[in-house]
Amino acid sequence: MGHIIIHQDRIKDAEAIKAFCPFNALDYVNEYLEINAACKMCKLCVKKGPDGVFEWCEDETEGVDKAKWQGVAVYVDHLEGAIHPVTLELIGKARELAAKIGHEVHAVFMGSGIRHAAEELLHCGVDHVHVYDDPALKHFRIEPYTAVFEDFITRIQPSIVLVGGTTVGRSLAPRTAARFRTGLTADCTFLDVQESTDLDQIRPAFGGNIMAHIFTPHHRPQFATVRYKIFSAPERSETATGTLTERTVPADRLKSGIEVLEVRVKEVTAGLEDAEVIIVAGRGVKKASDLAMIHALAARLNAKVAGTRPVIEAGWVDARKQIGLSGRTVKPRLIITCGVSGAIQFVAGMNNADCIIAINTDPKATIFNVAHYGIVGDLYEVLPALVACLAPAAEVLEPAFA
């Protein structure tokens, strides 16, 4: 990291200089130009500001011996031993990253009565599975889980730690990262690694208007969380490979101020994330009743219906069916977008779909940049024609609108 120094004596036009910051982060306090909390560290003032007024100063870092941090680790997210599929997706990505830098893949699995479930990971290409099996870890409680995670990282010293962007992961990863005074990038949509073992953590920033490449060059490990359905899970191999090591931490480190009195299991309903086929309604749909066309196509294809943000905000589609940066991330086999422009905030939630078909009247719509097949046309003509071509499906998941 670093900071910006302002050379007050070099300021020529006191008022005009404030305009160099697009975020209004420059203010006069007691006649001194200062940087306020609105600063985004974009360094535009350093690059484009008047000569010599703004200077970027790198903070001194102790530096880290990167050679001592070896391996790509994945936190195994689970509920009573049932492994969350995001874990397998992360293992797939971990294998890819590890192969690039010649490291090994580790999985850390903490819980109670999980030994058998842990063995399954040896069929997924993990080199080393580390199991912390203790009754105190039966339910997720932040203090003991963090203590175990910390123990694992201290022993293994992995260079990279990947955690699923689940409710548990979003709580556990930042707390553990803080213990090591290292960085964490939440909700990465792409990950790559450099020869130096620096992780290239890529995610939308500034409201999705740019894709930021975030690095943690001076600290280890490098923490990243990734949502479900961003990466692909590896094929399960029939043969088990790798090692499984049972580990323990002292009992006093498993103490918690939280006592779990009862667990009430919520009824699980298949979410949008699990749909194999999705039809998306965009603002090209003029009114709520016109969604009947979308539902008719969905019924033909056993598909779920989803919406872009404007359609959700209009209240035409359930809010849990919004796809995108502030909605769900999906990876269906087929997605058909109807009257969707392809804003980056929407595309970030669906561009990993196996097959994307876009229907839009505007041949220049950016959705066509990610679509495998594009239909330039009016959805009011295309959808009825498609529905007419398709035989009714045996099983209808969503009722068509009356």
Ligand X SMILES: Cc1cc2nc3c(=O)[nH]c(=O)nc-3n(C[C@H](O)[C@H](O)[C@H](O)COP(=O)(O)OP(=O)(O)OC[C@H]3O[C@@H](n4cnc5c(N)ncnc54)[C@H](O)[C@@H]3O)c2cc1C
* Distance, CA of 225 to chain centre: 6
- Smallest gap from residue 106 Cβ to ligand X (A): 33
Considering only CA atoms, which of 173, 208, 209, 203 is closest in space to residue 190?
Answer: 203
Q: Which is nearer to ligand X, 81 or 310 (CB)?
A: 310
State the nearest-atom distance from the C-beta of 119 to ligand X, in Å: 38
Closest by CA position to 208, among listed 327, 38, 305, 356: 327
CA separation, residue 36 to residues 11, 13, 21, 27, 78 (Å): 18, 19, 11, 7, 43
- How far apart are CB 376 and ligand X at their closest, in Å? 9
Report in angstroms how near the CB of residue 285 gets to ligand X at its nearest. 8
Extract the tokens encoding 216: 């943690």
Q: Which residue, 46 or 344, has its beta carbon nearer to ligand X?
A: 344
What is the residue type of 161?
V
121 vs 383, beta carbon nearer ligand X: 383
User: What is the distance between the alpha carbons of residues 320 and 300, in angstroms, rounded to a whole number?
Assistant: 22
Beta-carbon contacts of residue 236 (< 8 Å; ≥ 6 apart): 123, 124
Considering just the CA atoms, what is the radius of gyration of the chain in Å?
25
Q: 146 vs 322, which CB is nearer to ligand X?
A: 322
CB of 366 to ligand X, least distance (A): 8
Between 258 and 292, CB nearer to ligand X: 292
Where along the sequence are the contacts to ligand X (CB under 6 A)? 207-208, 282-284, 308-310, 322-327, 339-341, 343, 345-346, 349, 359-362, 365, 378-380
CB of 110 to ligand X, least distance (A): 32
Residue nearest to ligand X (CB): 324
Q: Of 228 and 346, which CB lies nearer to ligand X in the complex structure?
A: 346
Nearest of 182, 218, 221, 222 to residue 201 by alpha carbon: 222
